[in-house]
Structure 1
Amino acid sequence: MQTTTIIKIQGMTCQGCVSSVKTVLEKLPDISRVEVSLDPGEAIIEHNPSTVSVAQLKTAIEDAGFDVTE
């Protein structure tokens, strides 16, 4: 079962940042869709929550050098 999670991200300043966030999220298992927007600074992720938790999504973004807000 897929779910959609929206995560607010700070620190993205260019399309390279957007690409970096998208790449790290797409490497996680059972991710079916990733959309990352510079403005308003968020990622929309469709994933299987039994395989990848929201905490794991946030950790991947933080490990890429960006701040997760909420």
Structure 2
Amino acid sequence: MKRKFQINGISCGGCISRVKKTLEEHPKIEKAEIFLAPKGATIITMKETLSVDELQKQLSNLEGYTIEKL
């Protein structure tokens, strides 16, 4: 299932690479697509639904990024 999110703190391709890699390390996430236009727009394909809190916890290894549901 695909869900739309906004990741705040995305400013460049390097940010996208780091955040994408971190999210895709979660066993319930199949794919993360993050865009620069509009900045931080994200589509996450999941095997099972994850809450925003669970996704934020996955991002906690990286500083400066927050995620919210659209």
Using structure 1 for the length normalisation, give the TM-score. 0.74
Give 5+ residue unaligned stretches, structure 1: none
Q: CA deviation at 1:56?
A: 1.4
Moved over 3 A (4+): none
Secondary structure in structure 1 of the residue aligned to 2:20: helix
Percent of pairs with identical residues:
29
CA RMSD of aligned residues (A): 1.9
Using structure 2 for the length normalisation, give the TM-score. 0.74
Give 5+ residue unaligned stretches, structure 2: none
Q: Please say if 1:8 is aligned against 2:11.
A: no
Q: CA deviation at 1:27?
A: 0.3
- Structure with greater strand percent: 2
Q: CA deviation at 1:62?
A: 4.5
